Amino acid sequence: MSKTKVAVIGSGNIGTDLVIKLERVAKNVEIAVLVGIDPASDGLARARRLGISTVDSGVQGLIEHPDFAAIDIIFDSTSAKAHFANEEALRPHNKRLIDLTPAAIGPYVVPAVNLEEHLDAPDVNMVTCGGQATIPIVAAISAITPVHYAEIVASIASKSAGPGTRANIDEFTETTSEAIEKVGGAARGKAIIVLNPAEPPLIMRDTVLALVSNPDQDAIRQSVLDMVDKVSAYVPGYRLKQEVQFTELDDEESVATLTGGVDKGPGLWKVSVFLEVEGAAHYLPAYAGNLDIMTSAALQVAERIAQNTSLEAAR
């Protein structure tokens, strides 16, 4: 079976890590072109050393590239603002877009939760690194009991945050919060990101706090464990740091604030889940789990789209 050709727009940290993954571990897709705007970028230089065709004139250069017609899937790892322009330029060309920015033009996709629902979408959004790490856990809890409120905190090494990530801080919180509700199933969601400047750099850590009523603790623990297994199937460095914790709440004022002032009645509990994401060190060192979970999730989407397209063509 021939592989589906793909292009990557963006030669920064995320795009370069994705290119290396496409070269090393992809099964159904292959990289045809890496697109950047800085001829001297490390990402374009690495791609050229790997024998991959490069473009340094942005999306218009990709459209004019001789291999463009053969490319079916395009990853965008630039910025939210750039993706709006890239999507508009590429729309007439009938390409499938996988958006690794928080632009959120298309539906949110978290592979372990809802990939199968959006295999035909022309532009899917990969939320954020914190969203990919934590939304599966919110969804796992929601599968057992309604989640009145979910808050996530993603802490990443400052060295792993490139210009695109730093430019998207506001979009990170907005996009992730919305996806916690739309994909995770929480009634209300909140997201926080911390760029940790510690030296040596610390590995990515994520915390999920969910408010639920009268929880079946054993069922929630098992659901979370099952979800961690699902995510770690495509992000091997994804793991729980400790057992799922349950705390009964009795501060009515704090509870009212978190739940938007809605009385949820007695028996309200906080579920706490602590995660760690170790990167595969394909580009930056292993502390950059935020790169690994984004690129691994995006690759999982592309692989499944390519597989689905091949199956439909064979029918």
- Residues identified as active-site: 129
14 is in an annotated binding site: yes
Q: Are residues 73 and 173 in the same domain?
A: no
* CATH of residue 169: 3.30.360.10
E-strand stretches of the chain: 4-9, 29-35, 53-55, 71-76, 96-99, 123-125, 149-157, 189-196, 204-213, 238-240, 245-248, 268-277
Q: Under a CB-based contact definition with an 8 Å cutoff, are residues 271 and 220 in contact?
A: yes
Question: How confident is the model over 166-215, as pLDDT tens digits?
Answer: 888 888 999 999 999 999 999 999 999 999 999 999 999 999 999 999 99
213 is in an annotated binding site: no
Q: Are residues 28 and 107 in the same domain?
A: yes
* Number of domains the chain contains: 2
Q: Are residues 80 and 92 in the same domain?
A: yes
* CA quadruple 280, 286, 287, 291: dihedral, nearest 10: -30
Q: Are residues 150 and 269 in the same domain?
A: yes
User: pTM of the entire structure?
Assistant: 0.94
Q: What is the DSSP letter of 108?
A: B
The whole domain housing 215 covers 129-287
Question: How confident is the model over 68-123, as pLDDT tens digits?
Answer: 999 999 999 999 999 999 999 999 999 999 999 999 999 999 999 999 999 999 99
Query: Which amino acid appears at position 215 of this protein?
Result: P
Q: Are residues 279 and 143 in the same domain?
A: yes
163 is in an annotated binding site: yes
Q: Are residues 206 and 277 in the same domain?
A: yes
Q: Are residues 215 and 93 in the same domain?
A: no
Q: Are residues 241 and 169 in the same domain?
A: yes
166 is in an annotated binding site: yes
Question: How confident is the model over 205-249, as pLDDT tens digits?
Answer: 999 999 999 999 999 999 999 999 999 999 999 999 999 999 999
Q: Are residues 148 and 280 in the same domain?
A: yes
Query: Which amino acid appears at position 170 of this protein?
Result: D
Res 103: pLDDT: 93
Q: Are residues 122 and 245 in the same domain?
A: no
160 is in an annotated binding site: yes
The Cα 284–Cα 161 span in angstroms is 11
* CATH of residue 96: 3.40.50.720
Q: Are residues 211 and 187 in the same domain?
A: yes
Q: Are residues 192 and 80 in the same domain?
A: no
13 is in an annotated binding site: yes
